[in-house]
Amino acid sequence: MFENLKLTDNAKIAQCEVRNYMQSLGYKCVLEYEVKDRYDGNSGRIDIVCFKDKETIAIEVDNKTPRKKSIYKLKNFNANKKYVICRNGKNIEVN
C-alpha cells in the first residue's frame, strides 16, 4: 500500500505526508488519535487513524525501525489494518 510513498526525515512533516497520501485515496484521517495505553500504562496516541466506509487503518510513523510501543499500540487497537511506516522506507503490517 505504501511502496511508492517517499517520506521526509522530519517526523511531523512525514506524518502529514502519510495523512495526505491516505486522504488522496479517499480516507478521512485523524492525527494523534488517543489510546488508553501506549505500552507503559500511560495514555498515548496513534499517529494516524484513517476511516473509509467500514474500514479503519491505524498507522504509526517511526524513524528507522518500528518502536516497541508503536507495535504495542497497534496490536491493542481495533482496526482492519495496522502499519508501522518508517521514514527510511521500511514498512511493516502489524497483526
Q: Which of 77, 73, 51, 43 has its CA nearest to residue 61?
A: 73
β-pair partners for 59: 48, 83
Per-residue pLDDT, 36 = 87
What phi-psi label fits residue 60: left (phi over 0), alpha (psi between -120 and 50 degrees) or beta?
Answer: beta
Chain CA centroid to CA 75, Å = 12
Per-residue pLDDT, 71 = 94
Per-residue pLDDT, 38 = 74
Per-residue pLDDT of the chain (95 residues; tens, 9 = 90+): 888 888 999 999 999 999 999 999 999 999 999 998 777 888 899 999 999 999 999 999 999 999 999 999 999 999 999 999 999 888 889 98
Per-residue pLDDT, 4 = 83
